[in-house]
Amino acid sequence: MDKSQKNLMYLFELPYDSISLPRSGGKIHFDVENDVSRPPVVATRLGGGIPVETMPVPDRGDVPLQNLGTATTVPLGSPFSFFIKTHRQAAKDLCDVFMKTKNAEDLLQVAARVHGHVNETLYIYALSFVILKKELRNSRLPSIIEVFPGKFILQEKLMEAQLEINRSDPNESTPIVVEHGLEFAGTQLKPEHRLSYWREDYGINAHHWHWHLVYPIDMDVNRDRKGELFYYMHQQMIARYDMERLCLGLPRVQKLENWRAPIDDGYFSFFIKTRQDDTKMQDFQRNDFGLDFTEVTDLEIWRSRILDAIHQGFMIDSQGERVILSDDVTSGKRGIDILGDVLESDSNISVNSRYYGDLHNMGHVLLAFSHDPDFAHKEEMAVMGDTATAMRDPVFYRWHKFVDDTFQEYKLMQKPYTEEQLNLSGVKIERVGVVRNNEADVLHTGWNTRLFEASRGLDFNGRSVMVRLTHLDHEPFNYHLQVNNSGKGAKDVTVRAFLAPKLNARGQEMSFMEQRILWAEMDKFTVSLKPGSNHIVRSSKDSSITNTEELTFRDLENVDPESPAAAAFNFCGCGWPQHMLLPRGRPEGMAFQLFFMLTDYAQDKVTQRTTQGCANGVSFCGIQDAKYPDTRPMGFPFDRRPPRQLLGRDVNIAADYARLDNAYIHDISIKFLADKLN
């Protein structure tokens, strides 16, 4: 990694401050003069015991600010929303400027010059996008929590730190540590507040920001099965949210279906705008975004057209031609993929965006502005407008439950998998279990903490401010599978592991259909079975959905890219947080089921050149610039209703799948320890 690559990281510091201010507590200094004299941009590493290094960068006066297109139309200091079409265009224009740079050094100076002239969130978005897109892999992205602490940490807490600094001796330099505990934005007076720890978890929100960064809409990014992954990743988040609700004795989330009725639960975010309880979704009639007005009626019309298409089995493209919707295709896009692009929607890919509209995105927008839909009060948007904060609001889940129900409407139109598609002859799972600390089938969750440096993103008079965030965590565990291969040769199989609560909110065992969309993917991996008996052990830390934990600026500064340990830092940001892999469970233990299915890797595998691209949390995030590495429909085998019979007997509950030799269902317990984990 050369200096420019490493220094790119510092462009993420103090996004709201002038770039000529010292960065990183005085470690780096970008000296950007005005454009008239067009001097070279100079990055200087400053003192603190470190020898001063100066990095002269050649003049790039050829990037005049007027070439930024619409990027300058999003005001500085205001929220930026990827759900708003004009903001997406602004992002595209800025990314285009950054993409034209030749290398990291070139990007560094162009970006340094642009800093301060465009909206801060837009700037960080575009910079992150281009670093990932250009595969400047050694220029790793620092955690979004440190870049924008104000989006993740209670304003009061940040104020507390500032007041303490104001009161203390100006020469004092010891870092201030602020605790951010479990109360988050709620008071516990309302049932929904009991889930604040989950909705406001830093890792979940950071994952969502990164997911939309790597699967952007209207950006001419042609990612494999993007529409299908939009469906699957969000479906899985809702499944996990519902699991967590059941742990707390709350009913499953209700879809937001009647857009004329008041929404019971408001959300009072601590950094941007709030939505009162019982606020209605309202017609969007603001003129401050250069957007056409959108009425609730428009959303209803789009929904109705999409549902018509689902039930008729085809869409109508912009030429008036039929586009068949089916998941049983041998070439071309699956119906779910087409539907995902239409519903999200991505106007570059949607088969007919004029007709099917912009349903999911505008739902976010109408909800984000329901407190001031006509700009009468000059209020900014609420959390639903920003992918880094939307998951804090209970209405996010109600909206996405509606989105998911629409996808499920389609999935239920698909033919159930046949016994042949579900079966894998010659392979039998004989036994499974999970082991934690030598104890079988009882997993532990509890609270843990993580330190972030808030002063990387916000200036506290140059003083270091750390925030200790409390979050859910679990003790790591291993899956054990005893599998027999009765074939004569080795057999490569895909192991698919899911978790779901055993009982519903009434305490009853669930039917296949009730449990079907609660199954949360825990892992998916390939193993080669030798003939005879095989004992497979797999660590929970290797999950196909999770990422390594958020990397702080300090982590990035300390990692030596040449060291073997650096491989562990192959971090691209996307992926479910490892600490949220398990639902909370209950203090007395809560019954869950693990479901395993083995499928034939020869049929599942996708032939492609191996790529060095980001490959964290592959099941949720895919692989950068490569095909999604599993040919089966996402969510297989629970994405469809079950066949009526398997092996000659009716299928009513998930355990009926386990009659197949290649499947297994196993009860475990998840115990929530109310104290801290070590």
Residues that bind ligand CUO (CB under 6 A): 208, 212, 234, 360, 364, 390, 400
Q: Would you tell me the crossing angle of helices 202-214 and 226-247 to the nearest 10 degrees?
A: 170
Compare residues 213 and 246 and give the one whose CB is closer to ligand CUO: 213
Q: Are 523 and 544 in contact (CB under 8 A)?
A: yes
State the nearest-atom distance from the C-beta of 368 to ligand CUO, in Å. Answer: 11
For the question of residue 344 being annotated catalytic, the response is yes
Among candidate residues 502, 273, 279, the one with its CA nearest the CA of residue 392:
273
Task: State the residue number with the nearest CB to ligand CUO.
Answer: 390
- Which of 146, 200, 244, 344 is flagged as catalytic? 344
State the nearest-atom distance from the C-beta of 364 to ligand CUO, in Å. Answer: 6
How close are the terminal C-alpha atoms of the chain, in Å?
35
The contacts of residue 216 (CB under 8 Å, 6+ apart) are 82, 88, 91, 129
Q: Are 287 and 296 in contact (CB under 8 A)?
A: no
Compare residues 252 and 364 and give the one whose CB is closer to ligand CUO: 364
State the nearest-atom distance from the C-beta of 484 to ligand CUO, in Å. Answer: 42
State the nearest-atom distance from the C-beta of 517 to ligand CUO, in Å. Answer: 17
Compare residues 368 and 655 and give the one whose CB is closer to ligand CUO: 368
Q: What is the Cα–Cα distance from 209 to 218, expressed in whole angstroms?
A: 16
State the nearest-atom distance from the C-beta of 493 to ligand CUO, in Å. Answer: 32
Compare residues 186 and 216 and give the one whose CB is closer to ligand CUO: 216
State the nearest-atom distance from the C-beta of 390 to ligand CUO, in Å. Answer: 5
Q: Are 549 and 577 in contact (CB under 8 A)?
A: yes
Q: Name the helix (H) or strand (E) containing 311.
A: helix 296-312
Q: What are the backbone angles phi and psi of residue 395, rounded to the nearest 5°? A: -70, -20
State the nearest-atom distance from the C-beta of 400 to ligand CUO, in Å. Answer: 6
Task: Report the relative pairing of strands 663-676 and 442-453 from DSSP bridges.
Answer: parallel
Helix, strand, coil shares, percent, the chain, to 5? 35, 20, 45
**How distant, in Å, are the alpha carbons of 180, 206, 419, 552, 561 from that of 152?**
10, 9, 47, 14, 29
Compare residues 114 and 362 and give the one whose CB is closer to ligand CUO: 362
Compare residues 199 and 208 and give the one whose CB is closer to ligand CUO: 208
Q: What is the Cα–Cα distance from 566 to 573, expressed in whole angstroms?
A: 15
The contacts of residue 327 (CB under 8 Å, 6+ apart) are 334, 335, 336, 411, 414, 633, 640
The three-class DSSP label of residue 374 is coil
Compare residues 85 and 640 and give the one whose CB is closer to ligand CUO: 85
Q: Where in the sequence numbering do the catalytic residues fall?
A: 344
